[in-house]
């Protein structure tokens, strides 16, 4: 009897542990259905971030099965050691007299010259068209892609089109048309001089559809120092018409800007005269079996969505056990104990029953009819 009680107790512990474990990991699946509760709604555009579910009815591709952005699950990303490295050419625009920066009502866009290219990393050369940003608010980080469901404060996208096509709009509808380089923007202690070249003139483009000219600079410096560590998957434009023609590269390393610089991005631009342009990020989309590849094997450590360690070598800091690891160990131990207890119980039970069958006087069925027993 005692053994049965022990078994029941252990089973109960199992169920309890399994519940805790599943509730701690289920939040990772909730992202795709997260609702945008933004107050600001239609403001003269055909689409907005407040009603993302409505995109699919007006733009059929938005309902496809290779949509972007996605959550990048670092545990299931497949390490591909042979992913060719990314090599950029013509990104240094220091000699360019001016570049056009525009508030298009959805984002901040920097138009780029066709001399900027990705010359290694894909089957073809890809030509840069523009770069733009996605951001949130001081309360809500606004990157589009997430790493293990964690949003970063902002995200930069450098949009390129395949050089075998004439321009971005022609390439955008072709399966091999686009390559977008994406990187996360986090908060560091120091002002980022490279980002300041864009952020210092935001007040000039605060009104929707306004633009300004800024002097050329090295656009390479808007991306992380190392381009070696990245994730790769097939996806889409993250805005309508959501064409599923983007070969995505999301860099693992993060860019840092100061808190003040991030605030200027979050608070300066306007849409429709008096609404703040922020929270311009689409919710992560379902994978539908797509594979996310990684150019590197080790898992990054994401400690906080807004504060990112200042050291470049984040590798050294990933020794600790995660909550999931601890639960897995506890679960494993409990499972082991249960198996042992069950084996012990079964052994004893067998011993007992074999003893019973050996004793002819214990055979109740045959004894009932006899008088000796009465
Ligand atoms: Zn984008």
Same domain, yes or no: 127 and 182: yes
Looking at the fold, whether 208 and 340 belong to one and the same domain comes out as: no
Do 335 and 231 share a structural domain?
A: no
Which pLDDT does position 322 carry in this prediction? 52
The domain total for the chain is 2
303 pLDDT more than 70: no
Q: Could you tell me if 205 and 269 are in contact, meaning their C-beta atoms sit under 8 angstroms apart?
A: yes
The reply to whether 85 and 154 lie within a common domain is yes
Residue 344 φ then ψ, to 5°: -60, -45
Tell me how far the alpha carbon of residue 144 lies from the centroid of ligand 1, in angstroms.
Answer: 8
Whether 368 has a pLDDT exceeding 60, the answer reads: no
Of 279, 294, 319, the one marking the end of a domain is: 319
Q: For all residues of the chain together, what is the average pLDDT?
A: 81
Segment 233-259 mean pLDDT: 98
CA–CA separation, 235 and 259 (whole Å):
31
Which of 319, 343, 359 is where one domain is finished? 319
The CA distance from 229 to 294, in Å, is 7
Tell whether 38 and 77 lie within a shared domain: yes
Does residue 374 form part of some domain?
no
Q: Are residues 287 and 162 in the same domain?
A: yes
Confidence (pLDDT) at 273: 81
Report CA(112)–ligand 1 centroid distance (Å). 15
Mean pLDDT of the 196-225 span: 98
Same domain, 250 and 361: no
Q: Tell whether 53 is covered by a domain.
A: yes
Q: Cα separation of 21 and 328, whole Å?
A: 8
Residues 224, 245, single domain; the answer is: yes
Mean pLDDT of all residues in 193-199:
98
Whether residue 148 contacts residue 284, with contact meaning beta carbons closer than 8 Å, is answered with no
Are residue 237 and residue 346 in the same domain, yes or no?
A: no
Residue ranges with CB less than 5 Å from ion ligand 1 = 157, 238
Question: How many helices, marked H, and strands, marked E, lie in the chain?
Answer: 7, 17
* Residue 3 pLDDT class (50, 70, 90 cuts): low
Return the SS3 of 132: strand
Task: Flag whether pLDDT at 13 surpasses 80.
Answer: no
Q: What is the distance in A from the centroid of ligand 1 to the CA of 10?
A: 50
Assigned domain for 27 exists = no
**pLDDT on residue 345:** 72
337 lies in some domain: yes
Do residue 338 and residue 294 come from a single domain? no
Question: Is 372 inside any structural domain?
Answer: no
The size of the chain, in residues, is: 374
Residues 6 or more apart in contact with residue 87 via CB below 8 angstroms = 118, 119, 120, 121
User: Measured between alpha carbons, how far is 182 from 252 in angstroms, rounded to an integer?
Assistant: 9
Whether residue 281 is found in the same domain as residue 333: no
Task: Please check whether residue 305 lies inside any domain of the structure.
Answer: yes
Query: Quick check: 129 and 166 in contact, CB under 8 A?
Result: no
Residue 7 CA to ligand 1 center (angstroms) comes to 55
* Range with the poorest average pLDDT among 50-64, 253-267, 309-323, 343-357: 309-323
Q: Does residue 215 have a pLDDT over 60?
A: yes
pLDDT tens, position by position, 23-71? 333 322 222 222 333 333 333 447 999 999 999 999 999 999 999 999 9
Q: Are residues 204 and 263 in the same domain?
A: yes
Residues 6+ apart with CB under 8 A from 229: 251, 252, 253, 294, 295, 296
pLDDT at 7 over 90: no
Preceding amide of 258 cis, omega within 30: no
Q: Any idea which residue has 């506890």 for tokens?
A: 330
Look at residue 133 in the predicted model and tell me its pLDDT. 98
In the beta sheet, which residues pair with residue 13?
none
How far does the centroid of ligand 1 lie from the alpha carbon of residue 106, in Å? 10
Please identify every residue annotated as catalytic.
106
158 CA to middle of ligand 1, Å? 8
CATH assignment of the domain containing 284: 3.10.200.10
Share of the chain above pLDDT 70, in %: 70
Using the 8-state DSSP alphabet, how is residue 168 labeled? H
Give 295-351 as a DSSP string. Answer: SS-SPPP---SSB--SSS--GGG--SPPHHHHHHHHHHHHHHHHHHHHHHHHHHHHH
Q: What is the pLDDT of residue 168?
A: 98
The band of 344, judged by pLDDT with boundaries at 50, 70 and 90, is confident
Is residue 251 one of the residues assigned to a domain?
yes
> What average pLDDT does range 350-366 have in this prediction?
48
- Compute the average pLDDT of residues 105-120: 98
**DSSP state, residue 373:** T
Three-class DSSP category at 15: helix
Angle CA 192–198–204, to nearest 5: 135
Model confidence over 125-181: pLDDT tens digits?
999 999 999 999 999 999 999 999 999 999 999 999 999 999 999 999 999 999 999
User: Can you tell me the mean pLDDT for 11-15?
Assistant: 44
- Residue 126 sits in which domain range? 34-319
Q: Is the peptide bond before 155 cis (omega within 30 degrees of 0)?
A: no
Nearest alpha carbon to residue 271 among 53, 51, 49: 49
Stretch 277-281: mean pLDDT: 98
CB atoms within 10 A of CB 365: 6
Quote the pLDDT of residue 287. 98
The model's pLDDT over 96-107, given as tens digits with 9 standing for 90+, comes to 999 999 999 999
Instruction: Tell me if 198 is assigned to some domain.
Output: yes
Listed residues 319, 341, 359: the one ending a domain: 319
């Amino acid at each position: 009897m005692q053994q049965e009680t022990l078994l029941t107790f252990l089973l109960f512990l199992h169920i309890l542990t399994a519940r805790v474990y599943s509730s701690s990991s289920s939040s990772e699946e909730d992202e795709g259905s997260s609702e945008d509760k933004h107050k600001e709604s239609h403001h003269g555009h055909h689409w907005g971030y407040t009603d993302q579910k409505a995109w699919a009815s007006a733009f059929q591709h938005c309902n496809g099965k290779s949509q972007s952005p996605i959550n990048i699950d670092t545990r299931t990303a497949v390490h591909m050691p042979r992913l060719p490295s990314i090599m950029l050419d013509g990104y240094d625009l220091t000699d360019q007299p001016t570049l056009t920066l525009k508030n298009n009502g959805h984002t901040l866009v920097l138009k780029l010259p066709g001399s900027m290219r990705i010359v290694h990393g894909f089957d073809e050369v890809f030509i840069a068209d523009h770069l733009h940003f996605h951001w949130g608010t001081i309360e809500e980080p606004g990157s589009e892609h997430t790493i293990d469901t964690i949003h970063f404060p902002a995200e930069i996208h450098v949009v390129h089109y395949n050089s075998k096509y004439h321009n971005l709009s022609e390439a955008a509808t072709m399966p091999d048309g686009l390559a977008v380089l994406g990187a996360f923007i986090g908060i560091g202690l120091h002002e980022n001089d490279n980002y300041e070249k864009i952020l210092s003139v935001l007040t000039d483009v605060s009104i929707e559809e306004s633009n300004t000219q800024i002097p050329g600079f090295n656009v390479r410096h808007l991306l992380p120092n190392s381009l070696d560590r990245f994730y790769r998957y097939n996806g889409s434009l993250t805005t309508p018409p959501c064409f599923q023609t983007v070969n995505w590269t999301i860099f693992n390393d993060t860019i840092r800007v100061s808190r003040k610089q991030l605030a200027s991005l979050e608070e300066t631009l306007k849409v429709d005269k008096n609404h703040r342009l922020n929270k311009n990020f689409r919710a992560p989309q379902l994978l539908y079996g797509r594979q996310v590849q990684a150019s590197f094997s080790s898992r990054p450590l994401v400690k906080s969505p807004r504060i990112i360690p200042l050291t470049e070598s984040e590798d050294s800091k990933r020794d600790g056990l995660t909550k999931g690891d601890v639960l897995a160990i506890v679960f494993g131990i409990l499972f082991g104990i249960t198996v042992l207890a069950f084996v012990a119980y079964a052994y004893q039970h067998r011993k007992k029953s074999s003893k019973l069958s050996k004793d002819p006087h214990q055979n109740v069925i045959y004894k009932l009819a006899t008088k000796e027993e009465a």
